[in-house]
Chain A
Amino acid sequence: MLLRHTTAEIKPREALTVNPAKTCQPIGALYAALGIHGCLPHSHGSQGCCSYHRSALTRHYKEPIMAGTSSFTEGSSVFGGQMNLVAAINNMFTIYDPEVIAIHTTCLSETIGDDIPQIVSKAAEEGKIPKGKCVIHANTPSYVGSHVTGFSAMCAQTLRQLAAPAQIKECRFNVIPGWVEPGDMREIKRLLKAMKLPFTLFPDTSDVLDAPQTGHHEMYPKGGTTIPAIRSMGAAERTFCLGEWASQAAGEALFKYCQVPFEVLDLPIGIRATDRFLSALTEYSGFTVPDSITDERGRLVDMITDMQQYLYGKRVALWGDPDWLIPLAEFLSDIDMKPVYIVSGTAGKSFDERLGKILGSVVPEAKFQNGERADMFLMHQWIKQEGVDLLIGNSYGKYIARDEDTPYVRMGFPIYDRVGHSYFPSVGYAGGMRLLEKILSVIMDKQDRDAPEESFELVM
């Protein structure tokens, strides 16, 4: 068995991370940048970084991922990466002709102290930035935060650098969807349209990372929030930030620089979080939730009540990013399951506070930890002490699932070994139904597999 090395006895670890439940900032910045139309992301650091980030995103989305790299050498690490970056900007505009280049830094370029705005000005002075094009950047060293904070930083910085302040606000709303899949972004747009709320969604990776097969390799697929749309976000009436970790900073930036008020909502995963999301929208759109959506909710509730016998009391272990772990934990407890182990490598105090409130009375035995030393190894040790009935998380959980023979649903990032996650939503009522179908499927498959002949049921 692959994880035969995991012991049930938990010894405190001062210094070591084993099987991490997070990864580093730059990849988040890369993903966010891909949600801008006509954008070529650029990694200011060693070639390895860019290569790994592209490979990781390719394995997750099964799509080609484009990004430039400054290809740091020993020389650049000593004398600074200015020459490389200016050359890169020139090469990228000349040959790849993007609308915008979104630069993110890496541990290397941050530590040697490269001043990106200064380098970009130099490139502009030297005429390397064609008229009408722009270069934006975010500082995302890998030794701070996690992939989620990198995503958040790129979103916030894009808005800070591009959104145009406006005295007169228009009747339009900004929605920052957070780190979700293209399929989720589509679903959020569908719900916004159903609520008749004029909106700008940023970032938007739908039709970028779930692009159809056309026989053509499109460097810049048709999706993504356009630059003019991003600029206009400064004139919106309000910003809805979905997910505190990934989206709040973007809302704060729009408030600080463009005076657009914002509110932070949970990712609409599960019944209550989706209710809260739609409620918030109703307040501003002036329209009530249409019947078509209410019916969707009804179908989800119907599904839950029909299958509740397979759900109640089931112990669940989850790991991933706080923004979706929190509403998912709420959803699971609402359908009478018990999220007992929750781990995230991304730090942040509200994790404990929110989960404490959500689970305190219904699942008092729940163990949750985030930040340093909160890794998959710890999760596995908890499971070795007392097992669970279901695992929900990224592909790295498959070793635990196999070792402990536990039903397993993939969610989060990265998912390298199944498809569907980028096309079909987990948000909204429709997403809730999909999650429920997957959860029930694996639990009931196991029941069928383990049932002795006499209890092997046709009707379940």
Chain B
Amino acid sequence: MAVPFIAEREKQVHVLGEKPFDMACEKKSAAGAVSQRACVFCGSRVVLYPIADALHIVHGPIGCAAYTWDIRGSMSSGPELHRLSFSTDLRERDIVFGGEGKLYASLLSLVERYQPKAAFVYATCIVGVIGDDVDAVCRKAQEATGIPVIPVHSEGFKGTKKDGYKAACRALMSLVGTGDTSGIGRVSINILGEFNLAGEAWDIRAYYERIGVEVVSILTGDGRVDEIRRAHGASLNVVQCSGALSPLAQEMKEKYGIPFIRVSYFGLEDTAKSLYDVADFFKDDNGEVGEKAKTLVREETERVYPRLKEYAKKLRGKKAAIYVGGAFKAFSLIKILRYLGMEVALVGSQTGTREDYEQFAAMCQPGTAIVDDSNPLELSHFVAEKGIDLFIGGVKERPIAYKIGVGFCDHNHERKIPLAGFEGMVNFAKEVASSVLSPVWKWVPRKKAGGREE
């Protein structure tokens, strides 16, 4: 059956083996396509909101703040200020006469009430159009309150989520370097791109501490302003995630000479590699780190392997579809799924680059569909056509999977179960198995393409 795609999207949908690989990507979404992508504000918010002792205020109409109110699984071990929703709730008269006064008044009253360590002000689409000078208001508020008041230029229409990440990184850079780094040892890192969803940052931090590496700050899971201020005292930046925090790592390298490496904590292989890579970096400072890393990996792998073997037996031959935001995670997922004996029949992302898609092509079998910036029609077509048993995605993909009657694993920012690290791998296998093997799918009248009822 022909893929129902919009003509201009032809090069963003590719089935391996049918034609020579030539994918287009990093394009603006086709207007009218029911794209799953979000906006610049979304990108900024996911990076900065986990900073738990800072104030986050959205300068715009009520919607932007309302829809992002506490929807994330990013956990805090302390303050929960970031889980309240603050907005200047711009109304028509503010659009006409400007909202700067309202923003200033809000900032002052909020800072007085909550005494945060810093404040982030997010500009939304409308602020970009009416021309409120958010930078000026923030400067004034900073002088008046004595804490950093940082503007984030996250106007929705300025680009995609990636531009949001850049705006967030710029905001973070204004904090980095303003703190005291005395007492930080040589064997020290910052963990970048870890948002402590379901407490994953705590697990990862624990691994590093076990092998003798000091964690100066986590950007931004369970984040604290003071820790971020002294991040420039670390010797190495360990960056995960598709590079939401890459611009920051880049800038820290240029300004402070701190090198960075890219890692992933999804799956046994990638988690182990991350620890080894970090240990390797410090081998001249402290040879023990490498030894401890090997011990940790061996102990953890021995601990989880029997359970994983059980799950792999049950999942052998099942087919999965992966649709993520940034492509990086998908690489790890493909490896993990293979480890569990599963096949990947569809893989795609909202914001992948050419290199990312070339890597997918290299990793996957002929017949695998690869999609960029996809939409529900394409996704449901492939899920039905390829006989998918499991869909890995986020909030907008889940109902599609359930409607079609296939298992689902939420690997997005709402997840409640830690999926990173060694124990995380077992959690993942367990969640996948419970969903895929659930008896509920027996009740679904499955129709194959062609209309035959099973």
A66–B34 touching, CB < 8 Å:
yes
Complex A-B: 10 CB contacts under 8 Å? A18-B84, A47-B29, A48-B39, A48-B41, A55-B395, A68-B33, A72-B157, A108-B126, A215-B404, A215-B446
Query: Which listed residue (A17, A69, A90, A219) contacts B88, Cβ 8 A?
Result: A17
Docked CA distance A87–B125 (Å): 22
B105–A51 touching, CB < 8 Å:
no
A88–B444 touching, CB < 8 Å:
no
Q: Which residue of A lies closest to B130 (CB)?
A: A111
- The bracket for how many chain A residues form the interface is 35 or more
Query: Which listed residue (A68, A84, A111, A216) contacts B126, Cβ 8 A?
Result: A111
The 8 closest A-B pairs by CB, nearest first: A48-B39, A88-B32, A24-B63, A91-B32, A46-B156, A52-B67, A142-B61, A88-B31
B30–A91 touching, CB < 8 Å:
yes
Tell me the minimal C-beta distance from A415 to chain B in angstroms: 14
Asked whether any CB of chain A lies closer than 8 Å to the CB of B37, the reply is yes
A17-42 CB mask vs B (1 if < 8 Å, else 0) is 11110111011000000000000001
B395–A58 touching, CB < 8 Å:
yes
B157–A46 touching, CB < 8 Å:
yes
A64–B38 touching, CB < 8 Å:
no
Known: A91-B33, A95-B4. A48 touches B62 (CB 8 A): no
Taking CB atoms, residues of chain B closer than 8 Å to A213 are: 402-403, 405, 443-444
B40-74 CB mask vs A (1 if < 8 Å, else 0) is 11100000000000000000111111111101000
Asked whether any CB of chain A lies closer than 8 Å to the CB of B92, the reply is yes
Q: Which residue of A lies closest to B110 (CB)?
A: A16
Tell me the minimal C-beta distance from B8 to chain A in angstroms: 8
Asked whether any CB of chain A lies closer than 8 Å to the CB of B158, the reply is yes
Asked whether any CB of chain A lies closer than 8 Å to the CB of B128, the reply is yes
Known: A17-B88, A111-B130. A142 touches B109 (CB 8 A): no
Known: A26-B63, A108-B129, A216-B403. A64 touches B396 (CB 8 A): yes
Query: Which listed residue (A4, A15, A18, A144) contacts B105, Cβ 8 A?
Result: A15
Asked whether any CB of chain A lies closer than 8 Å to the CB of B35, the reply is yes
Interchain pairs with CB closer than 8 A, number: 248
B62–A20 touching, CB < 8 Å:
yes
B63–A2 touching, CB < 8 Å:
no
Docked CA distance A69–B125 (Å): 15
A16–B33 touching, CB < 8 Å:
no
B88–A111 touching, CB < 8 Å:
no
Docked CA distance A62–B398 (Å): 9
Taking CB atoms, residues of chain B closer than 8 Å to A94 are: 6-7
Asked whether any CB of chain B lies closer than 8 Å to the CB of A456, the reply is no
Asked whether any CB of chain A lies closer than 8 Å to the CB of B95, the reply is yes
A214–B62 touching, CB < 8 Å:
no
Asked whether any CB of chain B lies closer than 8 Å to the CB of A76, the reply is yes
Q: Which of A61-101 contact B (CB under 8 A)?
A: 62-74, 76-77, 84-85, 87-92, 94-96
Tell me the minimal C-beta distance from A85 to chain B in angstroms: 7
A5–B84 touching, CB < 8 Å:
yes
Q: Which of B149-186 contact A (CB under 8 A)?
A: 156-160
A48–B377 touching, CB < 8 Å:
no
B31–A144 touching, CB < 8 Å:
no
Asked whether any CB of chain B lies closer than 8 Å to the CB of A186, the reply is no
Docked CA distance A111–B4 (Å): 35
Docked CA distance A180–B159 (Å): 36
Q: Which of A66, A67, A144, A214 has the most CB of B within 10 A?
A: A214
Taking CB atoms, residues of chain A closer than 8 Å to B62 are: 17, 20, 22-24, 142, 146, 345
B157–A77 touching, CB < 8 Å:
yes
Taking CB atoms, residues of chain B closer than 8 Å to A383 are: none
Q: Which residue of A lies closest to B397 (CB)?
A: A64
A270-303 CB mask vs B (1 if < 8 Å, else 0) is 0000000000000000000000000000000000
Docked CA distance A330–B71 (Å): 33
Taking CB atoms, residues of chain A closer than 8 Å to B4 are: 95
Taking CB atoms, residues of chain A closer than 8 Å to B398 are: 58
Tell me the minimal C-beta distance from B137 to chain A in angstroms: 12
Asked whether any CB of chain B lies closer than 8 Å to the CB of A169, the reply is no
A17–B86 touching, CB < 8 Å:
yes
B30–A13 touching, CB < 8 Å:
no
Taking CB atoms, residues of chain A closer than 8 Å to B286 are: none
A210-240 CB mask vs B (1 if < 8 Å, else 0) is 0001111111000000000000000000000
Residues of B within 8 A of A (CB): 4-8, 28-42, 60-69, 71, 80-81, 83-92, 94-95, 101-103, 105-106, 109-110, 113-114, 125-126, 128-130, 156-160, 376-377, 380, 384, 395-396, 398-400, 402-405, 443-447
A130-150 CB mask vs B (1 if < 8 Å, else 0) is 000000000001111010000
Tell me the minimal C-beta distance from B416 to chain A in angstroms: 12
Docked CA distance A396–B94 (Å): 27
B63–A27 touching, CB < 8 Å:
yes
Taking CB atoms, residues of chain A closer than 8 Å to B36 are: 51
Tell me the minimal C-beta distance from A223 to chain B in angstroms: 15
Q: Which of B4, B28, B90 has the most CB of A within 10 A?
A: B28
Asked whether any CB of chain B lies closer than 8 Å to the CB of A107, the reply is yes
Taking CB atoms, residues of chain A closer than 8 Å to B128 are: 77
Docked CA distance A42–B34 (Å): 9
B114–A5 touching, CB < 8 Å:
yes
Taking CB atoms, residues of chain B closer than 8 Å to A396 are: 69
Tell me the minimal C-beta distance from B188 to chain A in angstroms: 33
Known: A15-B105, A18-B86, A73-B28. A52 touches B63 (CB 8 A): yes
A56–B67 touching, CB < 8 Å:
yes
Docked CA distance A65–B84 (Å): 27
Asked whether any CB of chain B lies closer than 8 Å to the CB of A49, the reply is yes
Known: A16-B110, A58-B396, A213-B405. A71 touches B29 (CB 8 A): yes
Query: Which listed residue (A3, A66, A143) contacts B92, Cβ 8 A?
Result: A143
Docked CA distance A45–B31 (Å): 10
Tell me the minimal C-beta distance from A87 to chain B in angstroms: 4
A20–B32 touching, CB < 8 Å:
no
Docked CA distance A49–B35 (Å): 12
Docked CA distance A215–B445 (Å): 6
Known: A58-B399, A91-B31, A216-B404. A47 touches B37 (CB 8 A): yes
Taking CB atoms, residues of chain B closer than 8 Å to A107 are: 60-61, 95, 125-126
* Other 19 A-B pairs with CB < 8 A, given A24-B61, A96-B377, A215-B447: A14-B109, A15-B101, A18-B84, A18-B85, A22-B66, A24-B63, A45-B125, A47-B156, A51-B35, A51-B36, A54-B396, A68-B33, A87-B32, A90-B32, A91-B31, A91-B33, A108-B125, A144-B91, A217-B400
B91–A143 touching, CB < 8 Å:
yes
Known: A77-B157, A95-B6. A71 touches B35 (CB 8 A): yes
Asked whether any CB of chain B lies closer than 8 Å to the CB of A352, the reply is no
A64–B376 touching, CB < 8 Å:
yes
Known: A16-B86, A47-B38. A91 touches B6 (CB 8 A): yes
B89–A69 touching, CB < 8 Å:
no
Taking CB atoms, residues of chain A closer than 8 Å to B92 are: 141, 143-144
Tell me the minimal C-beta distance from A54 to chain B in angstroms: 6
Taking CB atoms, residues of chain B closer than 8 Å to A96 are: 34, 377
Asked whether any CB of chain B lies closer than 8 Å to the CB of A314, the reply is no
Docked CA distance A77–B101 (Å): 24
Docked CA distance A216–B406 (Å): 11
B32–A74 touching, CB < 8 Å:
no
Docked CA distance A22–B42 (Å): 20
Q: Which of B69, B88, B89, B92 has the most CB of A within 10 A?
A: B89
